[in-house]
Structure 1
Amino acid sequence: MVSERVERTPVNGAGLPPERVVAAGSAARVLVAATARALRGDDCGDLGHPGPLSRLTGAPEPVRRAAAVRAAGRAALTTDEIAAVDAERVAGWFTGQYPDRRYPGVLLGSPHGAAAHLAAALGVPWLPAGFELAGQWARGAVDRPDAAYAHGATLAARLLDANPRVHVRQVHCPASRGAAAGAAVTFAVRWRTLPEAYARFLSDRLEPAAPVLLLHDARTWPVRDRGDGHSFQAGCPAGGLDPVDFHPDARALGRVLRAAGGEETRWTAPEVTVAGAFAEHGVESGFEHDARSFGDRHGHPLHRVVVPQPDALSAVTADLYRGWLRRAGKTGNRLVVECGRLLDPGQVVRAGLVPYWCENATTRRVAGVEWWLAGSEPFSSVDVLPEPPGLRSPAYAGLPQWLAVAGFGRRRRALDRGAARGYPVASVPTRRATEVLRNQPCDLPAPPPLRMAEALTALRDAGAHQGLLVC
């Protein structure tokens, strides 16, 4: 069960339990859990608990910042725990969550909520090309990315000693993590080869000639990479700002740092050695090469889906769902707009809804769904589940923008009050989406599973207008 609390687990020779390693609430963890439950016929009602900040919605900002720092430090791994991480064991934990049966295909790659919905419609698993973990930074500072890099390099070396087949991308982003960025360093651990657990899963669970879809987040970011397996980026696409906004003279950075308890005058980012590297959720070339080689050897064709922005895959998947529902005799006129961890693919299928997933609550991502709705055939109902980001930032959408999204519904326009209460500083667990979607009327039976050939055709045809590349 994905929970906002992670208990301390003693280090032992068998390695650290994956439940402790993979950051609670991280995209890969939540999406695997949600997809696996959908394939089992379950919902996400057991995923996530209110975080420690949920009781401090009305507290002064200094109190909230201090609580965020304490919570991040408790959840992060110690140096010894990081040395005990076994990335192969994490891969086995991901595959072990899926029902033991054969599948007509599989989705691999970058985390994206629409991929979970696509997997649920196809009746196939989704497996990430990496995972996120956090390491303790006892004397950290949110406004010192240079110090974060130095500390992270030491931790990364311990991780890489035990896991030479991964790349460690460190992300220091106060825009997306607030004060917590000064209490823990965040690592996006990406497999440079196909994990053995994945290879076994594909060998044992795929039907003959079943295709493999590899999703690749093609967003780029300036990084420092010396070729030692550890790279660093200040800021990230999910923060809603541009790389130029992380310059000490940028007004946006000043606002972000002051909100997180820091000062822009202390900000000195490490040098950039690669101006256009793939950001933290990119797929390592070795992982893709191994997946393609595996497919060639075992008769499983690999199709690469390059996603330039999250909105593109969200829009194509929503359109795909609408057509899938209508071919089954349903209206396809009821939309749910999900955000971040607030999703439940199983309940979406049960209710016969069209899902559109926003990566987060940034203004850009919310504007993406507005543009898509403006160009789409109208929906009779629009339900919106805005995940509060848990902090204040100029990059995040306000409730009026979310209300504007709901306003596209012709008859029903609903913004979830539970998620809106205390927005943007509240904390809402994944199960909130399940609680809301359970109240939607059933539209059973569910359509027959979508065929992979149909999905590929839609991704190629409709995706071309959104910038998707399928090859």
Structure 2
Amino acid sequence: MHKVHKGLTADGAGLAGDRVVAQGSAARVLVAATARALRGEDCADLGHTGPASRFPGAPEPVRRAAVSRAAGRVALTVDQVGEVDAARVARWFVDQYPRRSYPGVLIGSPHGAAAHLAVALGVPWLPAGFEMTAHWSDGAVDRPEAALEHGGALAERLLAANPDVHLRQVHCPASRGPLTGVTVSLAARWRALPAAYAQFLTDRLNAGAPVLLVRDARTWPVSERGPGHSFQVGCPASGLDPVDFHPDSHALRQVLRAVGGNAAQWAPPEVSAPSGDAEHGMESGFELAARDYAARHGHPLHQVLVPRPASLSAGVADLYRRWLRAAGKTGDRLVVECGRLLDPWQVVRAGLVPYWCENATRRSVDEAEWWLAGSEAFSSVDVLPEPPGMRSPALAGLPQWLAVAGFGRRRRALDRTSARGYPVTSVPTRRATEVLRAQPYDLPAPPPLGAAEALSVLRDSGGHQGLLVS
């Protein structure tokens, strides 16, 4: 059983936030990493190696069975879904941050560069939602209609106790692999500002401190399945396009074959919204509530609209380079992080420029290469590719990751532990800490950035990539 850290569980009924929020999910990892950085700590205690890492040479059926068993041990049961209290989850998030006043706050969609931006500003990052996984005992990766039926029953139980959230169910074998056949993935998005967030802002924000909303603007075909519940087949993080989840898609056949499914059985439900917000979007009610709170309490609110993850990653990397150079540092050493492999405190401690790839797909790595090709050269480039634990036609190969490292003038390093067994093994978040601890110290850290300066740089460097800062 996953250890519940003392002091991080809120009082009240329902399951503890530590039990509800999916292990390894973006919101969970980013809050933990940001909170540690604001306490002056790294991520050495974060993450557990997945079962795939213990079977690097095992046949695929053995590996899939191990992954499925591990997922079953941590997923919510049907009864536990009814015990979820989204208000308690919000309290669990805010309770992880040091109890002091802050010059601002970032709220919104999960993004590794947003965590780095928060640390540079010296402010917390809070998610606009969270992910859960729940048991699906008779599931199958190639039966999205059955997944929807099972998820609908779970959604009814959860929404009865949490009318303030919207549940987006995601069935994506291309990003979740065999887990898609034994669990359902539910992304809960708050429809209003949680009471714990409002109290946190009231108690911890300095007078006139800005509120920055970071919104993932990606879209995806969606099926609306009733009040508070929607469903999508596939997701942007898969590295594939919506058309690739059509029954006659060659990419889909490859994916299903890799995870033990059969494309002949694939029959996705009818789409009701061809271009709705993807799972990490922000509910309009949440945004309106945040704007209303900011206006009533004298906090300027700015929105950062992110059309694709690379636009914010590039903007924050450029921002860090200027920030470091303004403090008399070189700003010439880059670390390319991926997925859960990040450590904001070690990045600041070593005076590194961080560029975050959402995942190990070719699309993510292509955009990192394009940004590097158009940037002033770095003297060193360290690359931390996160193995996704499965094979997919959308994944970048190790030669492409090596090409990213090759942009370094003097040092070009690809983490061997992450590369060993790539892409079918897994490594914990603390692997990034282990790698970055080997970097030389470059202290003292620069003084925290001001929000006005940061937003100005993001407008300048991110505007041509579609980043919209208002």
Asked if Structure 1 and Structure 2 have the same fold, meaning a TM-score greater than 0.5 normalized by the shorter chain, the answer is yes
For 1:152, the equivalent position in structure 2 comes to 151
For 1:6, the equivalent position in structure 2 comes to 2
* Distance across 1 between alignment mates of 2:24 and 2:229: 23
For 2:189, the equivalent position in structure 1 comes to 190
For 2:350, the equivalent position in structure 1 comes to 351
Specify the code of the residue in structure 2 equivalent to 1:288: E
* Distance across 1 between alignment mates of 2:209 and 2:139: 48
Specify the code of the residue in structure 2 equivalent to 1:22: V
* Distance across 1 between alignment mates of 2:31 and 2:309: 18
* Distance across 2 between alignment mates of 1:363 and 1:26: 21
Matched position secondary structure for 1:41: coil
1:57 Cα deviation (Å)? 1.1
Specify the code of the residue in structure 1 equivalent to 2:396: A
Specify the code of the residue in structure 2 equivalent to 1:343: L
Change (3 A) 1:145 1:221: same
* Distance across 1 between alignment mates of 2:184 and 2:455: 38
Matched position secondary structure for 1:465: helix
1:52 Cα deviation (Å)? 1.9
Specify the code of the residue in structure 1 equivalent to 2:316: T
Q: Describe how 1:151-230 pairs up with structure 2 within 5 A.
A: 151-230=150-229
1:461 Cα deviation (Å)? 1.8
1:235 Cα deviation (Å)? 0.2
- Farther off after superposition, 368-377 or 455-464: 455-464
For 2:264, the equivalent position in structure 1 comes to 265
* Distance across 2 between alignment mates of 1:462 and 1:337: 18
1:304-338, CA deviations, whole angstroms, 9 ceiling, x for partnerless residues?
11100000000000000000000000000000000
Q: Is the 8 A contact 1:7 1:20 kept in 2?
A: no
* Distance across 2 between alignment mates of 1:406 and 1:46: 27
Q: Is the 8 A contact 1:168 1:188 kept in 2?
A: yes
For 2:23, the equivalent position in structure 1 comes to 24
TM-score, with normalisation over the residues of structure 1? 0.97
1:7 Cα deviation (Å)? 6.9
The alignment status of 1:334 with 2:330, answered yes or no, reads no
Specify the code of the residue in structure 2 equivalent to 1:93: W
Q: Is the 8 A contact 1:21 1:77 kept in 2?
A: yes
Q: Is the 8 A contact 2:225 2:231 kept in 1?
A: no
For 1:445, the equivalent position in structure 2 comes to 444
Matched position secondary structure for 1:303: strand
Matched position secondary structure for 2:230: strand
1:98-153, CA deviations, whole angstroms, 9 ceiling, x for partnerless residues?
01111110000000000000001000000000000011000000000000000000
Specify the code of the residue in structure 2 equivalent to 1:358: C
* Distance across 2 between alignment mates of 1:366 and 1:52: 26
For 2:7, the equivalent position in structure 1 comes to none
Change (3 A) 1:319 1:7: closer
1:61-87, CA deviations, whole angstroms, 9 ceiling, x for partnerless residues?
011111112122222101110000000
RMSD: 1.1
Matched position secondary structure for 2:84: coil
Change (3 A) 1:214 1:245: same
Q: Is the 8 A contact 2:335 2:354 kept in 1?
A: yes
* Distance across 1 between alignment mates of 2:239 and 2:58: 25
Matched position secondary structure for 2:387: coil
* Distance across 1 between alignment mates of 2:113 and 2:226: 33
1:425-445, CA deviations, whole angstroms, 9 ceiling, x for partnerless residues?
111000000000000000001
Q: Describe how 1:121-136 pairs up with structure 2 within 5 A.
A: 121-136=120-135
* Distance across 1 between alignment mates of 2:426 and 2:379: 30
The alignment status of 1:86 with 2:82, answered yes or no, reads no
* Distance across 2 between alignment mates of 1:14 and 1:351: 42
For 1:315, the equivalent position in structure 2 comes to 314
* Distance across 2 between alignment mates of 1:298 and 1:176: 41
Matched position secondary structure for 2:303: strand
Q: Describe how 1:221-240 pairs up with structure 2 within 5 A.
A: 221-240=220-239
1:265 Cα deviation (Å)? 0.6
For 1:99, the equivalent position in structure 2 comes to 98
1:17 Cα deviation (Å)? 1.0
Q: Is the 8 A contact 1:136 1:184 kept in 2?
A: yes
Specify the code of the residue in structure 1 equivalent to 2:29: V
1:361-418, CA deviations, whole angstroms, 9 ceiling, x for partnerless residues?
0000000100000000000000000000100000111100000000000000000011
Q: Is the 8 A contact 1:78 1:136 kept in 2?
A: yes
Structure 2: which 5+ runs fail to align?
Answer: 5-10
* Distance across 2 between alignment mates of 1:457 and 1:418: 38
* Distance across 2 between alignment mates of 1:195 and 1:438: 37
For 1:34, the equivalent position in structure 2 comes to 33
* Distance across 2 between alignment mates of 1:382 and 1:246: 35
1:166-215, CA deviations, whole angstroms, 9 ceiling, x for partnerless residues?
00000000000111100000000000000000000000100010000000
Matched position secondary structure for 1:171: strand
* Distance across 1 between alignment mates of 2:205 and 2:367: 35
For 2:458, the equivalent position in structure 1 comes to 459
1:96 Cα deviation (Å)? 0.4
Specify the code of the residue in structure 2 equivalent to 1:145: P
Identity of aligned residues (%): 73
The alignment status of 1:366 with 2:380, answered yes or no, reads no
* Distance across 2 between alignment mates of 1:189 and 1:115: 20
Q: How many residues align?
A: 464
Q: Is the 8 A contact 2:76 2:135 kept in 1?
A: yes
Q: Is the 8 A contact 1:311 1:369 kept in 2?
A: yes
1:226 Cα deviation (Å)? 3.8
Q: Is the 8 A contact 2:12 2:88 kept in 1?
A: no
* Distance across 2 between alignment mates of 1:155 and 1:459: 41
Q: Is the 8 A contact 2:334 2:355 kept in 1?
A: yes
Matched position secondary structure for 1:338: strand
Change (3 A) 1:449 1:257: same
1:343 Cα deviation (Å)? 0.2
* Distance across 2 between alignment mates of 1:6 and 1:238: 26
TM-score, with normalisation over the residues of structure 2? 0.98
* Distance across 2 between alignment mates of 1:331 and 1:181: 45
* Distance across 2 between alignment mates of 1:387 and 1:318: 19
